[in-house]
Structure 1
Amino acid sequence: MQPSDTQGLRQRKDIANGNGHTDTIVITEEGKKRDQQLDKHDRYEFGGPWGVFAMMTGFPMLMYYLWICLWFYDGQLVFPKSVDDIQPFLWRMWDHVRVDAYPTAYAWKVYSGNIFFQLFLAWVMPGYMQEGLPVPSLGYKKLMYKCNALLSLYATAIAAATLHYTGVFRLNAIIDNYGHFMTVAMIWGFAVSFGMYFVAVATGTQMRMSGNFFYDVFMGASLNPRIGPIDLKMWAEVRIPWVIVFFLAVSGGCQQYDKYGYVTPNMAFMILATFLYLNACGKGEECIPQTWDMYHEKWGFMVIFWNFAGVPFTYVYSVVYMASHDPSKYQFSTPTYVLLFSTLLTAYYIWDTAMSQKSRFKMQTQGITKFRKTFPQLPGCIVQNPTYIQTAHGNRLLTSGWWAYSRKPNYVADWIMSFTWGAIIGTATPIPYFYSVFFITVLIHRCGRDFERCAIKYGKDWERYCEVVKWKFIPGVY
């Protein structure tokens, strides 16, 4: 170890020595005691049973409302004009759902077909085997993950292009059947959430249970459910939401091209933005096992519904608006387009490299020094000779790269990207900004949960870390 600095911080450079060997983390007895403290239900989150029940019922209704406003009311937020108008207003809303979002057989076939196709690809495609972090809930067992998302995603793209150009399945149909697909996605989200709860209880794999049915369905019962080589939680995080998000953008582009003979810069922006995110999830899939989502967060409604329905059908409202409105409503000047594209690419670079820096640092602490090479590997994606704080728990807290300036640099960049996804249609409608508004709320809440957990897990070492990395989000601001 390098000598401590004047504040008593234990920091080390040259994490790997000349022969490629890396010292690995060892969880101390004190660390195990703190892990046990974190690995049990001791309080309710999200407002407890009533709070999660409100979210499980309220969020689907909000999704329907925003889609109706976007698709049928020119993107304007509509509401009853008087007390007497409340009942007729609610009936109008219901009629839109009943008629235009009915779960048709066609929607079931397409949406479910994608689910099973992604499962098939995850099972049969060759992949890079990645070892996960020691999981406290499993006695510090390290799970292996088959990372074949990138091949699967490109196989999906080839299959979709073939179906489109042969006329078997025109991609325009995705945006045209948006409401129908959304309802099917919600049904899938609810069915998988409740199904996984009952499977976990039946197989005795449930953990950190509160005893309240709805709360435990929301938070999840099992940690790492698997089908053969497929880790369902990681599979659903990558293969379902971002594939749909990307093809919704492509569908909007196809519709514009068929209608106008060209694709607007705004729609091209969304196709690029969603592709970057989708490709990043695939090319960096081996980094996902190192995240809190994988080794701590259970697979419940909070994650499942969001992956199956929430992300794909709330993040690309700008695409829905552009696909149903004349381009003159959201045209910009050339400098504005340059600014938006530059902001997107800059934020993407910071997000991609920040995520890579931290995940690969964690891999280094496991003794992994050879990393998967997928396109594009961006400069700065691996911190050379990283500095860190050695904790009494046994883990190490990175203080190099982007992580020297903010405790959550990836969140900042991720949110900026989300804002551009709304800004690409300007002030035509406020609804596409829902993603960024909702996202910042989620990020702030998640940071609170994460920082509280870290304070318990690392104690005084977390306080020392916060002295070194002072800013939670934006350096010099917050």
Structure 2
Amino acid sequence: MLNPKTIHREFSGVPGALGITLGLPMVIEFFALVTNESYSIQGISLDLDAVLKQLPSGSQETIALAFDKNCWLAYLAWFGTLVALDFVLPGKHMQGVELRDGTKLNYKINGLAMSGCLLVLLASRLVQSEGYFLPELDFLYKNMLKLTVVSVIFSFILAIFVYAVSFIPLSKPNGKGTSERILSVNGNTGNYFYDWFIGRELNPRLGTWDIKLFCELRPGMLLWLLINLSCVHYQYHSSGSVSDSLILVNVLQAFYIFDGVLNEEGCLTMMDITTDGFGFMLSFGDLAWVPWAYTLQARYLALDENRLQLGRFNLSLIATLQFLGFYIFRSANLQKSLFRQGKLDHMNFESIKTQTGSKLLCDGWWGLSQHINYLGDWLIGWSWCLPTGFQTPLTYFYVLYFGTLLVHRQLRDEAKCRDKYGKYWEEYEKKVPYKIIPYVY
């Protein structure tokens, strides 16, 4: 059967999906309300009156907030320009993993050209500007709440679109000789809302253009970079200088962003691309959650009352933490990749051969924990939060959220491997008992 019926439901099914659909947009809108020129959260206290005063008081103001003409034109121009660049910029073509119909999709990998184009455009605008003032960055900073709402609404619309398209037969036969689309193994329950949320179709496309891969690394990731830069732009023009803490957050996160965009071919084997459908969860996560949740630290530090100077010693420690996390993440993934290709056979790494013929590596980095790469990723998250000091726990939201997300991913992967490898997985767990953090969890 090309599209088996989904039995297991993530997030406790419809209740969890509904909670995420309603709750997470409110979270990023809350972030916008407590990190702006009108109000900034301090410590653990929250001035609810000050927050509520920023919200629209009637239907007219609500419509103005959600459907501001300039903000919608700006966002659509941003999204549309990136789509156009994705088509016209040069790149190499690669095949993804084999699908259930025996075919492989072609992908255009042009992250280097896309990043270079954006940097050249920013540099040229800066050269043309008077006093390093860029109206685009000023507009972005001053309309963060409206743009947050716009990106949320757009992610809803996109999720509805790909869900509706998933019911339209293919114009050309698939690898099985039918017009049936390949659905996600997670999004074929028959429940309309849940399938819309989790993603019904595995790889929604318009012609050869892959919507999921584009959204994974383009609009949200690069908007994250621009929002951070708008915070630097605001602080410089409001006070005449930029704090070292804000510069550090920008540098560390820019490194992470460009590393992701430039290594987009690695996404072709990630669970997001190979397993998960593209529904509201990924649409919202890519287009709204990433740019508006991951910029919380920069937006907080940009405000005068939160300005923080770290000094060279603290800067060095935090930067070292990021590069330690990055080293663990990259070297562990590289080691597993080389092992799978047979390029580490001369090192005689300990492994367990399974009934499928594949091997479970339980040596080197992967002898320390089952997901040692997750530990590296989590350490990177800490390096983004520490520059904010200890003025409020709000700026540490990311490490709490991301830690929870990593544990959820680990549990999903564990369930899949236990089902796939059976007794061999049990043997593997005895040799590598820790899930993420060696000697802790």
Normalised-by-shorter TM-score class = 0.7 to 0.9
> 1:424: how far off?
0.9
> 1:43: how far off?
2.4
8 Å Cα contact 1:408-1:473 kept in structure 2: yes
1:375-431 residue CA offsets vs partner (Å, 9 max, x unmatched):
xxxxxxx99857443321344433454323221122111112112222211122222
Give the corresponding residue for 2:200: 221
- TM-score, normalisation: structure 2: 0.86
- Cα distance in 2 for partners of 1:361, 1:282 equals 25
1:217-272 residue CA offsets vs partner (Å, 9 max, x unmatched):
11111101223443221221111222111111122122222233332211111111
Work out whether 1:344 is the aligned partner of 2:344: no
Q: Secondary structure at the match of 1:418?
A: helix
CA distance change for structure 1 residues 173 and 396 in 2, over 3 Å: closer, same or farther?
farther
Q: How does 1:21-100 map to 2 (within 5 A)?
A: 40-71=5-36, 72-76=38-42, 93-95=55-57, 98=62
Q: How does 1:424-463 map to 2 (within 5 A)?
A: 424-463=387-426
Q: How does 1:336-375 map to 2 (within 5 A)?
A: 336-359=314-337, 364=341
CA distance change for structure 1 residues 402 and 240 in 2, over 3 Å: closer, same or farther?
farther
8 Å Cα contact 2:205-2:211 kept in structure 1: yes
CA distance change for structure 1 residues 302 and 428 in 2, over 3 Å: closer, same or farther?
same
Q: How does 1:183-262 map to 2 (within 5 A)?
A: 183-203=149-169, 204-205=180-181, 206-208=183-185, 209-262=188-241
8 Å Cα contact 2:215-2:287 kept in structure 1: yes
Would you say how many aligned residue pairs link Structure 1 and Structure 2? Answer: 419
Q: Secondary structure at the match of 2:34?
A: helix
Q: How does 1:456-475 map to 2 (within 5 A)?
A: 456-475=419-438
Q: Secondary structure at the match of 1:171?
A: helix
- Cα distance in 2 for partners of 1:228, 1:358 equals 34
Question: Which runs of 5 or more residues in structure 2 are unaligned?
Answer: 170-179
> 1:193: how far off?
0.9
Work out whether 1:321 is the aligned partner of 2:281: no
- Cα distance in 2 for partners of 1:386, 1:165 equals 55
Q: Secondary structure at the match of 1:43?
A: coil
8 Å Cα contact 1:316-1:432 kept in structure 2: no
What is the letter of the counterpart of residue 132 of structure 1?
A: G
1:307-360 residue CA offsets vs partner (Å, 9 max, x unmatched):
000111011111111222246x42234322221111112112222333344455
Give the corresponding residue for 1:311: 290
| Residues 240-249 or 185-194, more deviating | 240-249
CA distance change for structure 1 residues 411 and 398 in 2, over 3 Å: closer, same or farther?
same
Give the corresponding residue for 2:273: 294
> 1:361: how far off?
5.0
CA distance change for structure 1 residues 293 and 398 in 2, over 3 Å: closer, same or farther?
farther
8 Å Cα contact 2:33-2:54 kept in structure 1: no
Give the corresponding residue for 2:86: 122
Q: Secondary structure at the match of 1:201?
A: coil
8 Å Cα contact 2:243-2:308 kept in structure 1: no
8 Å Cα contact 2:252-2:319 kept in structure 1: no
- Cα distance in 1 for partners of 2:54, 2:93 equals 52
Question: Which runs of 5 or more residues in structure 1 are unaligned?
Answer: 1-35, 370-381
Give the corresponding residue for 1:389: 352
CA distance change for structure 1 residues 390 and 227 in 2, over 3 Å: closer, same or farther?
farther
CA distance change for structure 1 residues 143 and 461 in 2, over 3 Å: closer, same or farther?
farther
What is the letter of the counterpart of residue 439 of structure 1?
A: F
8 Å Cα contact 2:235-2:242 kept in structure 1: yes
1:16-68 residue CA offsets vs partner (Å, 9 max, x unmatched):
xxxxxxxxxxxxxxxxxxxx899641122212112211210121122212321
CA distance change for structure 1 residues 37 and 145 in 2, over 3 Å: closer, same or farther?
closer
- Cα distance in 1 for partners of 2:269, 2:352 equals 18
8 Å Cα contact 1:330-1:428 kept in structure 2: no
Q: Secondary structure at the match of 1:389?
A: strand
- Cα distance in 2 for partners of 1:39, 1:428 equals 51
| Residues 307-316 or 261-270, more deviating | 261-270
8 Å Cα contact 2:163-2:199 kept in structure 1: yes
Q: Secondary structure at the match of 2:254?
A: helix
- Cα distance in 1 for partners of 2:396, 2:312 equals 22
Using CA pairs below 8 Å that are at least 6 residues apart, which structure has the higher relative contact order? 1
Which of 416, 424, 448 is the equivalent residue of 2:379? Answer: 416
- Cα distance in 2 for partners of 1:398, 1:50 equals 37
Give the corresponding residue for 1:157: 119
- Cα distance in 2 for partners of 1:95, 1:343 equals 45
Q: Secondary structure at the match of 1:397?
A: strand
